[in-house]
Each structure stands twice: as structure tokens, then as C-alpha cells.
Chains A and B, each alone.
Chain A
């Protein structure tokens, strides 16, 4: 089938996306309490590249930022898919997505960012608890594509609550589906030998008790064999999709940044030259020192510690959590 290569923007400098707002192209229930969202760019452009294990931040009303693993197909550059579990005990992020956000609506996102990379291995054991299946889905696809010897142990409260079972069905025996109401808790000792196998990487994502149990079981293993991801909702300050003020200390200029505008665009419009390249928060060229204020990091580059340090930001995508940012420009 023939497809046309998409054309990038050819508008005059500075092009590139402002804060990325994506449109909900589809919203599908995939299990009890779980919906899958398909997100696309309103203008149909390519979305930033990602790798299995990546998540995006959804910037939700009321200053909430929530992370969701990308669980779609990276060979489709025009859509992201996430799976969202309704969390009744949460602060309303998942309820907003379930109850308010509709097909055709838009949502601001950050990232994608990967703290849970799939590393090369001859063998993999994937362990998912509930919605923790989401980052593992694209990993499984790739492990299979590479001809690795892999198994998935997938637990959940009941079969009806376990998302994406039909997508896993074609893998047959490689997947063990273990609903708790039918089989009880996952039998970790049967799956995780007390002594590590150097040729097997274990990837686990799920609720904290599962992660704790897996980590205890693998406590004596050499580092690097067990890889886990924990989503701890971190509210480091209200995420904003509102205007804020940027002061360029060295240039002695202060200027507003509008919601639809990137800091890079605002700064360039004020005549201050900042080199950039990808304009997607991927390449790192536009790194800028932060002297005061709290950046709202939307890039794919910084790890958690670097984000927390708050001393630099990538102004092509990142914004401000504070009313005012002071930059070393």
C-alpha cells in the first residue's frame, strides 16, 4: 500500500509545536474500569518518537499531571494509545478521563519519556499486575519480533478487569493469565528462581504490593536483571496550561508566554537567539539554565533527579509551574 510521507512545517522561523495538545481520536472500554484512549495531533502531524516502556504526562484540569504508559504501536507515528484505570481513591485525574474527556476533546501532554527501557536479552519474563500490563504490551511485541524467548505472567482481580487479553491471545502458551478470583495470587516462587538466570531479564509493572513482592524475591540477584516501574503520583506543584511570565536575566527582558506558545517561540519573538533543533524535547539542543521559578518539564530527556533539580529546562516544550520563570538568557 502506498502512503505519502507527511510534510513537516515549512513556515518561517520559529516553527515546531508549542505545548503539545493532542486530540482524543478514540475512546474504548477495554475492561471493567479501563478505557483505552487513542490520541492524535489535531493537524495530523507525526508525534514524537517513543520506545517501549515510555510514558506521557497528561496535564489535566485542576493542576493534576498523570503519567500513562504508551501501549500502542510505534510503527504508527501518528497515534499514541494509553490505557486508563478508573481509580476511585484517586484525586480525580482518572475520573476526568473516564467521565468528562470525550472523543474530539483535547488534552495537553508532556513527554514521551522512558524510565523503563527494554534492554537486549535472549530471554525475558514479564510480570504484569492489572493496569501494569500497559508498558509491557509494546515490550512483548518487540521481544517477539526479535525472536527472544519470553513469557508473560499477568495477574488481575478478575478476568473482566484485565485489559488487552484479546491482544495477548495470539501468543498462546507464552502468556499465563492468572485472575485472582480463579487462581489466587501470583505464584512468584514458581516463576522467579531464588538464583538469577543471567540470560533472563525480568520486567515487572503493577501495584505496589506486587512490585514489593517481586523485589523481595529477587533481592539477592545481581543488579540490572530485574527492572520495575512504579508510578508514584508526584504532585510537585500545579501543572499549568495557562499563561506565565518569563524573565531573561542577561538580556534584561520580561515577557509573557501564552498557552498556545512555547517558551522558545516567545523568546525568539523577543529577539533572543536560542539554538534549537528537534523542537520536540528530544535532542537537547535548546537546554536553558533556570535561575528562579519552577519549570514544568515536558521533555523526553531529563530523569527524575534532573527534573527535581529544576536548574535547567528544554524551552522548546517545557513550561512553568510557577507564575514566573527566570532564565539564564
Chain B
């Protein structure tokens, strides 16, 4: 079989201007071919839906155990002990994943539903009581997960402000050691120490996700050595991601008043709206895998041990898969997007994120007739996350 030469590019996906506006690079990579060699980092980029989806699901060919960032754990020491979930392969991945999937499964979350819906109403009431103009990134998208998630985990009240900077650094660390990583490094020892402390059994309130992880260790479903690292996964991946997912959907509605009207007419669309926003913005933009052996992707040779960079955000807007991909549209079925990944490593907390979003959007739709942007939204740059610093909005509450 003859195949076209492997296209290459010297673009830097982690340069500030690209992080700020990744869409031109995404389109260029998709158009260049199914695989593009990024010469600057010597990695193989996938940006089309078909190939990103295939790479995400084929854990046999593309491993996670050598790290899901640029750093290759075959040769480099990770900045922290690797995650037992994200940075592990079968068979070691099996037990921690099974335990956490049960604890965070849709049926297990039913007991939180009522309380989270009530919390969302309370938060919306408080924010509206302070006025119609506010920063939706901090007052809602950050405030709501920080209100409900640490409680659900069973964390103590003090020190919760460490969660966002810790997560921010962890997601920067998947990229190259650029200025964003350097900026976070001074606080790493302090933040990592705090997070490590919170993973201990004594720190975690009875009944919470954390205590349930330790109970699984008592049953022997995971080892006691694994329990704190599984708790750490919740603290690393459970906050920033949902914050920016919620920010994405709030930004989407501020920018699309017609879609907000649809949600208000049919609040059952809240779940679809959140997933459509996750597709449209892809809060987690990229992850790497490592070739488990010499492979071919679309006819191109990928040598054993090379890093493969999957552009989830580009796949989620691939016109080969999505009609009018750049449009945020509640009549679309966003099912099958790869914003939560796919396959055995698919976001284990996706049902938590969806429940948080459903609660917040339902509460907002009940109180707010219209959301409009108030000045330019500001991005927060992160090597992996599509994040927001500020989303100033003015809302028009319903007359009650």
C-alpha cells in the first residue's frame, strides 16, 4: 500500500496565542491529514474525530502508563507518583477504576441529587440577591462545584482554596515545561503536601466518596496503599474540569440567547445542553498516549514509545463527524463527543459533572429570563484545559 508522506508542522499547540485561540491550528491539523508530525516536540498529532476516537479506545496499542502528557515516563521521572487511573494500563488500572466507577456511578449519585438541586437554588438566589451583574466564572462556575463537590468527597472545610491551583498545575504539567508550568512550580510542594494530607482516611468524613474509597480498601477491592492515590484522583480531576465545563455552558448561553430560551421552555434539555457545551468548548483539550509497539495509524508508522497527541477539542468540531460543528445548538445530539474521552479511561466523574450542571442550569432557568455578556470574557491559559478567568454577565431575572 502506498500512502501519502506524513505531513509535519512546527506549530506549538501550547503557545499562548494558540491556547487562547486553538481553532485555526485545529482546522489546519485536521486538513493536513489523519496524522501530523509535530516537529517541535517530535509527537504525532491526531485531530480528526475518527482517529481520535480510535486512539482513545485502543488501549492495547496506545498506552497511558507512560504518562498522558508530553513527558514520557519510560525515560523521565513524573513530577508526582503517577495516577492509578489516568496514568495506568490494564491490568493495574482495573481495580481502582472498578471501585471509583461504582462510587461515582449514576445510581450512586441519586442520593445527592435532591441536595445538589437545593444547593444550586440557594447559590443562584444568593448571587441574584447581590445584583444582576456578576462574573459567572467565579460566582457560579467556580462557586458551585466548590460548594458541593468537596462536601461529597468528605473534605474538611479548611484549605479548599488549594484545590483549584493544584488542579490547574496538574493540567499544565501534561504540556511541555513552558512558562505556565514554571509559574505553578513554586507552590507545588505546599499544594501537593496539602492534597496528600486530605487523602488520608482520618481526614475524610464518613459516607463521602473518600470514605467509600477507603471502605473498598477494607473489603480488599483495592489495596490500602492504593486508597490515598485514588482519593487524589478525585481531588486532581474533579474540580477544575467541572468548573471550566460549567463556565463553557454559561458562556455558551450568554452568547446564544435563543438557545437559553429553548432551555427555559424545556428545562429537560439541561443535560443535552451541558454535553453540547462540552463538545463545543472541550474543557479538556488534549491528552497524550504512548505507542505500545510499532504501530500504523492511517498508514503512517508510529514507532514504539512515541508520544501521540490527541486533540479532543479538534475532534469535537470535526466537520467529518458534526454538522455545523462550530455552532452551539441544543437540537443537536452531542452524544459520542470525546470531551470526556472514550473507552476504559473515559472520565470516571462524568456523571458527577452532568449532575452538577443539571442542578445549576435548572436553578438558573427557573430564575433567569436572559443572560447577556457584559464586556469581553477573559481566558485563563492552561496547557490542557480550555479555561476561563472571567465571564462578566448581566442577567435579567424573572419578575416574581
Q: A residues touching B (Cβ–Cβ < 8 Å)?
A: 1-8, 10, 12-16, 46, 49, 51-52, 74-77, 114, 117-121, 142, 145-146, 201, 223-225, 268, 273-279, 283-287, 301-302, 306, 312
Q: A2-B295, A2-B301 are in contact. Are A120 and B57 (CB under 8 A)?
A: no
Tell me if A275 and B221 are in contact (CB < 8 A). no
- Find chain B residues with CB under 8 A from A76 CB: 60
Q: A278: which of B221, B222, B346 is its contact (CB, 8 Å)?
A: B346
A279 to B336, CA, bound (A): 8
Tell me if A306 and B107 are in contact (CB < 8 A). yes
Nearest 9 A/B pairs, CB to CB: A224-B220, A2-B296, A276-B335, A142-B91, A5-B54, A224-B219, A8-B53, A13-B333, A284-B106
- Find chain B residues with CB under 8 A from A306 CB: 107
- Find chain B residues with CB under 8 A from A277 CB: 335-337, 340, 342, 346, 350
Tell me if A51 and B221 are in contact (CB < 8 A). no
- Find chain A residues with CB under 8 A from B156 CB: none
Tell me if B95 and A4 are in contact (CB < 8 A). no
- What residue of chain B has the Cβ atom nearest to residue A225's Cβ? B220
Majority secondary structure, A binding face: loop
- Find chain A residues with CB under 8 A from B343 CB: 49, 278
Closest Cβ of chain B to A148, distance in Å, is 10
Tell me if B54 and A120 are in contact (CB < 8 A). no
Instruction: Provide 28 A-B residue pairs closer than 8 Å at the C-beta atoms, listed in order of the A residue.
Output: A1-B293, A3-B61, A4-B296, A4-B297, A5-B58, A5-B295, A5-B297, A7-B54, A13-B333, A14-B333, A46-B58, A74-B90, A76-B60, A77-B60, A117-B94, A117-B98, A118-B94, A119-B221, A120-B95, A120-B223, A120-B226, A142-B91, A275-B271, A275-B333, A277-B342, A278-B343, A283-B346, A286-B335
Q: B residues touching A (Cβ–Cβ < 8 Å)?
A: 49-51, 53-55, 57-61, 90-92, 94-95, 98, 105-107, 218-223, 226, 269, 271-272, 275, 293-299, 301, 320-321, 323, 333-337, 340, 342-344, 346, 350-351, 354
Count, A-B residue pairs, CB within 8 A: 130
A7 to B95, CA, bound (A): 28
Q: A146-B91, A277-B342 are in contact. Are A287 and B106 (CB under 8 A)?
A: yes
- What residue of chain B has the Cβ atom nearest to residue A117's Cβ? B98
- What residue of chain B has the Cβ atom nearest to residue A76's Cβ? B60
- Find chain A residues with CB under 8 A from B320 CB: 10
Tell me if B50 and A7 are in contact (CB < 8 A). yes
Q: A120: which of B50, B105, B222, B350 is its contact (CB, 8 Å)?
A: B222
- Find chain A residues with CB under 8 A from B299 CB: 4
Q: A119-B221, A275-B272, A279-B336 are in contact. Are A5 and B61 (CB under 8 A)?
A: yes
Tell me if A285 and B350 are in contact (CB < 8 A). yes
Tell me if A119 and B346 are in contact (CB < 8 A). no
Q: A51-B98, A225-B220, A273-B272 are in contact. Are A3 and B296 (CB under 8 A)?
A: yes
- Find chain B residues with CB under 8 A from A119 CB: 95, 220-222
A14 to B54, CA, bound (A): 17
- Find chain A residues with CB under 8 A from B354 CB: 285
Closest Cβ of chain B to A315, distance in Å, is 12
Tell me if A284 and B54 are in contact (CB < 8 A). no
A61 to B221, CA, bound (A): 37
Tell me if A8 and B334 are in contact (CB < 8 A). no
Closest Cβ of chain A to B222, distance in Å, is 6
**Could you list 20 further interchain pairs (A-B, Cβ under 8 angstroms) beyond the known A114-B98, A275-B333?**
A1-B293, A2-B295, A2-B296, A2-B301, A3-B61, A4-B299, A46-B57, A49-B59, A49-B344, A75-B60, A146-B91, A225-B220, A268-B333, A274-B335, A276-B335, A276-B336, A277-B350, A278-B342, A278-B343, A285-B354
- Find chain A residues with CB under 8 A from B333 CB: 13-14, 268, 273, 275
A287 to B90, CA, bound (A): 26
Q: B221: which of A49, A117, A146 is its contact (CB, 8 Å)?
A: A117
Closest Cβ of chain A to B215, distance in Å, is 11
- Find chain B residues with CB under 8 A from A12 CB: 323
- Find chain A residues with CB under 8 A from B223 CB: 120
A268 to B299, CA, bound (A): 35
- What residue of chain A has the Cβ atom nearest to residue B53's Cβ? A8
Q: A13-B336, A51-B90, A201-B220 are in contact. Are A1 and B294 (CB under 8 A)?
A: yes
Closest Cβ of chain B to A299, distance in Å, is 12
Tell me if A51 and B94 are in contact (CB < 8 A). yes
- Find chain A residues with CB under 8 A from B90 CB: 51, 74
- Find chain B residues with CB under 8 A from A75 CB: 60
- Find chain A residues with CB under 8 A from B222 CB: 119-120
A120 to B271, CA, bound (A): 36
- What residue of chain A has the Cβ atom nearest to residue B220's Cβ? A224
Closest Cβ of chain A to B131, distance in Å, is 34
Tell me if B49 and A284 are in contact (CB < 8 A). no
Q: A3-B61, A10-B320, A14-B333 are in contact. Are A275 and B295 (CB under 8 A)?
A: no
- Find chain A residues with CB under 8 A from B58 CB: 5-6, 46, 77
Scoring A15, A120, A301 by chain B CB atoms within 10 A of each residue's CB, the highest score goes to: A120
Scoring B90, B221, B275, B342 by chain A CB atoms within 10 A of each residue's CB, the highest score goes to: B90
Q: A6: which of B54, B272, B321, B334 is its contact (CB, 8 Å)?
A: B54
- What residue of chain A has the Cβ atom nearest to residue B296's Cβ? A2
Tell me if B295 and A3 are in contact (CB < 8 A). yes
Closest Cβ of chain B to A9, distance in Å, is 9
Scoring A74, A277, A284 by chain B CB atoms within 10 A of each residue's CB, the highest score goes to: A277
A77 to B57, CA, bound (A): 10
- What residue of chain B has the Cβ atom nearest to residue A46's Cβ? B57
- Find chain B residues with CB under 8 A from A8 CB: 50, 53-54, 57
